[in-house]
Amino acid sequence: MILTQNIFEYWTQNTEGWLYVLVLALIAALYLTFFAVAGLLLVLMERRVAGFFQLRLGPNRVGPGGSLQTIADALKLVSKEIFMPKFADKLLYKAGYYFVIIASLLGLSVIPFSAHFQAFDINVGIFFITAVSSVGVLGILIGAWGSRNKYSLIGAMRSGLQMISYELSAGFAVITIVLLAGTLQMSEIVEAQRDTWFIIKGHIPALIAFMIFMISGTAESNRVPFDLVEAEAELGAGFHTEYSGMGFAYFFLAEFENMFIIAALAVTLFFGGWLAPFGITDALPGQVFWGLFWFFLKVLIVIFVFMWFRWTFPRLRIDQLLVLEWKYLLPIGLVNIVLAALIVWQGWLFEPLKWLGL
Amino acid sequence: MSEQVITHSDIKFQEYFLNMGPQHPATHGVLRLILTLDGEEVVGIEPDLGYIHRGIEKMCEYDTYRQIIHLTDRFDYLSSHMNNEAVCLAVEKALEVEVTDRIKVIRTMMDELTRIASHLLWWGVMGMDVGALTTFMYAFRDREMINEIMEKTTGARLTMSYNIPGGVMFDLHKDFQKDVKNLIAHMRKVLPEYDRLLTGNVIFQRRMKGIGTLSKEDAVNYGATGPVARASGISCDTRKHEPYSAYNRVKFNEVIETAGDNLARYQVRMQEMYESLDILEQLVDNIPEGDYQVAMRNLIKLPKGEFYQSVETARGEFGVFIVSDGKKNPYRVHFRSPGFNNLNALLKAGLGGKIADLVATMSTFDFVIPDIDR
C-alpha cells in the first residue's frame, strides 16, 4: 500500500550500501534541524502572542521584526556556565534532560507532516506516541530528584501526579478517534478523514473527545492553567530550578516540542492532518508542499489556542487538578467511548458531503 | 529470600522545612517565611524578618521634622503620599496649625489617586501570583496614567514627598483636573473589564473562595487593619472613624465583607477602587481656591509632649507617634505600619492550605516588605 511508504522508504527505494546509510543520516539530520528550528520559532511565536495579549509588542529589536531574538537567546544559553549543585546526584542530574528531549524527539518521528513525510509509519503509531510521551516525565522526575532541591522535588512530584492522571484522559480521547478510524496507524487515520474530518464525522463524541484532548494535552505539556510543575509564583522554577545553560534549554525546548506534538496530534486526529479542507488543493502540483502547508497552518492555529489559554487563565491548585481529572474528565471520557462505539456500530456518522452526493 | 512485607507503620512520614524567601517570587521582596510542610500542606509558618531593616525610627531621632517626611516614603512605597501625610498631620496637630481647604482637598485627592494606584498594582501582581500573567500588564497600563498625573504635579512617580508640614510642596499642575477626569472615565471603563478577565474566571473563583479564612476574632486579636480587616467584617476605616483632611466633606462607603476569605479581600479592594473614584469625582470640580502652603518656620520645633496621628493607607492604618522634648529633633518616633500586624494575621490565615493557597493568601494580604521591616 502506497500509504505506508514513509519518508525513509520514499528516498531509499533504489539505493543500496553507503548511499542508503547517507539518506538515513540526512533524514535524521533533517528531523534534528526541524526539532531545533521549530523550538526556536515556537518560542518566538509564544513571545509575540504574549505581547499581543498583554498590550505590548514582544521582542522586536533583534533581526527583522524580532525574528532573531530567540537565536540570540539560544546563543546566550549555550554560552552560559553549566552549573551543577554541589550535592547533586551527577548521573541523574545529567540524565534528566536527555530523557525529556529524547521522548519528544521520538514522539516527533511518527507525526505525519505530509503524504510520505513521516519518519516511521508504524502500524501502532498513535499508541507509540502515547507510550513515548510518558517517558518524558521520567526525565523530569530523575532530574529533579538528582538536583537535591526541595522546590524541584515538589515540582517533580506534581509532574508525576499530573502526567499519570492526564495520560488516561488523553488516551481515552485518542481511543474515541481510533474507534472512528478503525486503525492505529497515523497515516491511515489521516487518510480515513479524506471525506470528512473526524471532528465533524464523529459529531458529539468527537467534540467531547476533542475538548478532553485539549485539556489533557495542555496538562501533559505542562502549560497554564496546568503549569504547576514550574509554577513560578510558588516554586521559583519548579523542577528545573537548578539547571542552567543548555540543561535548562533542553527542558525549555522539550516543553515547546511537546506542545507542538500535542497540537500535531490534535490536528491529525480531529482536523484531517495534512489534508486540505474540502480537498481544495488536491488538483494542484506539489502535493508534499500543500500537505505541509495545511498541516502547519492547522497546527499553528491549535498552538495559538494553547497560547491563548496560557496568557488568560490562572493556575489550578494541585488537588483541584486531580479532582478535575478523576472526577470529571475520566468518567466523561469513559462514557464518551461507549457513545462513540455505539455510533460507529450503528453507523450514525455525520457526513453531509456524502449525503449530498459529493 | 524472605518475603518482606511493608506495612503502613514501616513507612515514616516526616514533616519538612522549606525556606520561602528571602528570594522568592511570591514574597515580593525580601520576606522570608520558614514553612513546615506535610507533603504540600502548610502546617507551620514562621516569618523571619529583618532583611530590609534600615532603622528608620532611629534615624528619625537625628532628623528634623521636614527631613522625616522623606524617610516615610520608604516604608510602604505604594502609599508614600499617605505616609507623608501622617507625619505632616501630626506636626500640624502639635503646632496647632490649621491648613487651608485647598491643601486639604489636594491631599485627599492625592491620597485617593495613590490608593487606586496601589490597588491596581496589587491586582496585577495578585493575578500573577495565581498564574494569570496578563493582569500585570493591564494593571500597569492603567497605573501609568496615575503615575503621569503624579509626575506632572509632584515631579516624582513613586516616592513623591509631596506633603510638607503646613501644606504641599507645589501647586497642582494646570492639567490636573483634566487628567483626573480622564482617569475616572477610563477606570470606570476598565474595572468591569478586569472583572471579566479575572474575577469571573471559574479557576480563579475556586482558588479564592473559602481559602485563607481569617475570622473576625482573629483579625481583631492580631491587630489587622485595612482591607484585610474589613474583609473579615470589621469596620476600621480611619477615613470614616477619625476623618482627616477633606474626608469629612465627601460621601463614600466603607466597603465591608464578612466572609474573611481571599475572595472577600479581593472584593473589598476592587470595591474600594470604585469608592476612591467616587471621592475623586466629588472633589475634582470643587478644588477651593487658596494657598497651597501655610507659612511655617523653616526649622520646626514641636512643643514638649506626645502626638499621634493615624491615616488610612492602601494597606490599613498607618500611625505616627512622636515624642517631643521641644528640640528640633523628635525624642522618639514610632510608626505603626499596617503590614507588620497584617503579617501576623497571615500566620493564622495561611495555615492548613496548600503551598499554592499560601501564595494566593499572601497576595490578597498585599504586603509591601519595607513596610513590615522599616
The model's pLDDT over B175-224, given as tens digits with 9 standing for 90+, comes to 888 899 999 999 999 999 888 888 888 888 888 888 888 888 888 888 88
Residue to mutate among B130, B135, B193, B362, with most A CBs inside 10 A, is B130
Region for residue B254 given its phi and psi (left: phi exceeds 0; alpha: psi -120 to 50; beta: otherwise)? beta
The DSSP code for B322 is E
Residue to mutate among A154, A157, A230, A313, with most B CBs inside 10 A, is A313
Q: How far apart are CA B236 and CA B215, in angstroms?
A: 15
Instruction: Tell me the per-residue pLDDT of B35-49, one tens digit each, with 9 for 90 and over.
Output: 888 878 888 888 888
Domain ranges of chain B: 8-373
What is the value of pTM for the model shown? 0.86
Q: What are the b/e assignments for A4-21, b being 16+ CB within 10 Å?
A: eebbbebbbeeeeeeeee
- Which positions in chain B touch A234 (Cβ < 8 Å)? 26, 355-356, 359
Q: From A225, which residue of chain B is nearest by alpha-carbon distance? A: B131
| Cβ-based neighbours of A237, under 8 Å, separated by 6 or more | A151, A155, A230
In the predicted structure, residue A232 carries a pLDDT above the cut 80? no
The more confidently predicted of residues A358 and A338 is A338
Question: Are B78 and B114 spatial neighbours (Cβ–Cβ below 8 Å)?
Answer: yes
Q: What is the structure's pLDDT at B321?
A: 92
Q: What is the structure's pLDDT at A301?
A: 92
As a whole number, mean pLDDT of residues A70-82 equals 86
| A1 band by pLDDT with thresholds 50, 70 and 90 | very low
Residue written as grid cell 519528544: A104
In the predicted structure, residue A3 carries a pLDDT above the cut 50? no
Q: What is the structure's pLDDT at A331?
A: 92
Whether B131 and A233 lie within 8 Å, measured CB to CB: yes
In the predicted structure, residue A286 carries a pLDDT above the cut 60? yes
Q: What is the structure's pLDDT at A212?
A: 92
**CA-wise closest residue to B19 among B37, B6, B32, B5:** B32
Percent of chain B with pLDDT over 90: 6
Q: How far apart are CA A331 and CA B56, in angstroms?
A: 60
| Chain A residues contacting B via beta carbons under 8 Å | 50, 53-56, 150-151, 154, 224-225, 227-228, 231-236, 310-320
- Which positions in chain B touch A227 (Cβ < 8 Å)? 131
The more confidently predicted of residues A298 and A21 is A298
Percent of chain B with pLDDT over 70: 98
Element containing residue B45 per DSSP (H, E): strand B41-48
Average pLDDT over chain A reads 84
Comparing CB atoms, the residue among B18, B132, B136 nearest residue A314 is B132
Q: How far apart are CA A317 and CA A326, in angstroms?
A: 14
Instruction: Tell me the per-residue pLDDT of B115-135, one tens digit each, with 9 for 90 and over.
Output: 999 999 999 888 888 888 888
Comparing CB atoms, the residue among B134, B201, B206 nearest residue A53 is B134
Q: What is the structure's pLDDT at A2?
A: 41
Residue to mutate among B19, B40, B135, B362, with most A CBs inside 10 A, is B40
As a whole number, mean pLDDT of residues A216-220 equals 87
Comparing CB atoms, the residue among A150, A314, A319 nearest residue B131 is A314
- Check: CATH 1.10.1240.10 for B8-373? no
Q: What is the structure's pLDDT at A234?
A: 74
Whether B203 and A312 lie within 8 Å, measured CB to CB: no
As a whole number, mean pLDDT of residues A119-126 equals 81
- Which positions in chain B touch A53 (Cβ < 8 Å)? 134
As a whole number, mean pLDDT of residues B339-348 equals 87
- Which positions in chain A touch B207 (Cβ < 8 Å)? 314-317, 320
Element containing residue B109 per DSSP (H, E): helix B101-129
As a whole number, mean pLDDT of residues A265-275 equals 87
How many Å separate Cα B4 from the centre of its chain? Answer: 59
Half-sphere exposure of B351 (CA within 13 A, CB side): 11
Q: What is the structure's pLDDT at A335?
A: 93
Q: What is the structure's pLDDT at B340?
A: 87
Q: Is B203 on the interface with A (CB under 8 A)?
A: yes
Whether B134 and A235 lie within 8 Å, measured CB to CB: no
In the predicted structure, residue A54 carries a pLDDT above the cut 50? yes
What is the ipTM score, two decimals? 0.81
Taking one residue from A and the other from B, the number of pairs with CB-CB distance under 8 angstroms is 81
As a whole number, mean pLDDT of residues B26-42 equals 84
Q: From B128, which residue of chain A is nearest by alpha-carbon distance? A: A233
| A145 band by pLDDT with thresholds 50, 70 and 90 | confident
Whether A54 and B133 lie within 8 Å, measured CB to CB: yes
**CA-wise closest residue to A261 among A140, A128, A138, A162:** A128
**CA-wise closest residue to A38 among A292, A311, A308:** A292
In the predicted structure, residue B11 carries a pLDDT above the cut 80? no
